């Protein structure tokens, strides 16, 4: 009887351990997209385009969709042609935190990823802003930041502190702002400035310098406003003198 109890206990311990360890291994492989995962998807996308007379394996989005969220990869189209086997562990479709997207679809379709954890935060704050605006006519404007850009008065939304997200590029915390229509977006100027300093860039006023981020990292600056450069500093595109 004692041996049976010990055996049952051993099985229980193994089950508990396997239940604990398996999610950890899943979390580890789902953590951050690596070069091998990106290259695997890139190769599949390139092959699909060659076989499809230039068409791309992307989901259809509204024309008004911001550019870095506009071209999500539809893995099912790649699987149907046996161009990809197991999906990247980092992909949303396989339990990860990232949506695989394309940038430069017309000229040089390039695979990047969008961190969906930022999506959740932005959408959550947007719901609060929209609800406030519907009740008070105006968005919850805080301090003026730049032309057409405002801090969010978090107290009006019942938040304990100004909303922000963790940057996918660095250890920075990036603030969420609103425009004149009450649309929530992420301010990536801290990261852009760091990349300008560390990587160097030959940009001129009027250029959209968000692509500095995608040139040097696998992530897209989702939910962002266009930025350009003025006197060596990143500024919102609409801050430029007319």
User: Domain-by-domain residue ranges, the chain?
Assistant: 35-115, 117-239
Q: What is the pLDDT of residue 201?
A: 72
The structure tokens 């995608």 sit at 214
In this model, does residue 236 exceed pLDDT 90? yes
Which candidate, 70, 81, 76, 77, places its Cα nearest to that of 105? Answer: 70
Q: Taking a C-beta distance cutoff of 8 angstroms, is the pair 111, 73 a contact?
A: yes
Q: What is the pLDDT of residue 232?
A: 86
Measured from the Cβ of residue 24, the count of other Cβ atoms closer than 10 Å reads 8
100 DSSP β-pair partners: 113
The structure tokens 């604990």 sit at 20
% of the chain exceeding 70 in pLDDT: 86
- pLDDT average, residue stretch 55-67: 94
Q: Name the band, by pLDDT with cuts 50, 70 and 90, for residue 32.
A: confident
In this model, does residue 80 exceed pLDDT 90? yes
In this model, does residue 165 exceed pLDDT 80? yes
Q: Which of 105-109, 137-141, 188-192, 199-203 has the lowest mean pLDDT?
A: 199-203
Which candidate, 178, 61, 49, places its Cα nearest to that of 114? Answer: 61
The structure tokens 């690596």 sit at 34
Average per-residue pLDDT for the chain: 87
Which candidate, 115, 199, 129, 200, places its Cα nearest to that of 165? Answer: 115
Rounded distance between C-alpha atoms, residue 1 and residue 9, angstroms: 12
Which candidate, 178, 168, 161, places its Cα nearest to that of 225? Answer: 178
- In tens, the pLDDT along 9-25 reads 333 333 333 333 323 33
Q: Which of 20-24, 172-176, 187-191, 229-233 has the lowest mean pLDDT?
A: 20-24
Q: Taking a C-beta distance cutoff of 8 angstroms, is the pair 90, 96 a contact?
A: yes
In this model, does residue 203 exceed pLDDT 50? yes
Measured from the Cβ of residue 93, the count of other Cβ atoms closer than 10 Å reads 15
Q: What is the pLDDT of residue 239?
A: 58
Which residues lie closer than 8 Å to 50 by C-beta, 6 or more apart?
A: none
Per 3-state DSSP, what percentage of the chain is helix, strand, and coil (rounded to 5)? 40, 20, 40
Which candidate, 183, 242, 187, places its Cα nearest to that of 210? Answer: 187
% of the chain exceeding 90 in pLDDT: 78
């Amino acid at each position: 009887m004692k041996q049976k109890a010990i055996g049952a206990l051993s099985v229980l311990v193994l089950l508990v351990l396997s239940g604990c360890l398996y999610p950890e291994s899943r979390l580890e492989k789902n953590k951050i997209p690596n070069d091998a995962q990106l290259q695997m998807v890139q190769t599949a996308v390139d092959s699909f385009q060659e076989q499809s007379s230039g068409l791309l394996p992307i989901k259809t989005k509204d024309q008004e969709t911001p550019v870095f969220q506009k071209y999500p990869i539809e893995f099912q189209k790649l699987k149907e042609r046996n161009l990809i086997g197991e999906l990247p562990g980092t992909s949303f479709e396989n339990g990860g935190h990232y949506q695989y997207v394309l940038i430069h679809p017309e000229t040089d379709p390039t695979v990047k990823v969008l961190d969906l954890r930022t999506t959740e935060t932005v959408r959550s704050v947007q719901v609060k802003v929209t609800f406030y605006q519907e009740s008070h006519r105006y968005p919850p404007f805080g301090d003026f930041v730049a032309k057409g850009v405002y801090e969010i008065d978090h107290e009006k939304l019942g938040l304990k502190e100004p909303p922000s997200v963790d940057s996918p590029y660095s250890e920075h915390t990036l603030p969420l702002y609103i425009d004149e229509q009450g649309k929530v977006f992420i301010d990536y100027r801290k990261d852009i400035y760091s990349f300008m300093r560390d990587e160097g860039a030959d940009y001129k006023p009027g250029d959209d310098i968000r692509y500095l981020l995608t040139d040097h990292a696998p992530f897209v600056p989702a939910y962002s406003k266009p930025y350009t450069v003025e006197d060596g500093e990143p500024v919102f595109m609409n801050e430029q003198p007319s």
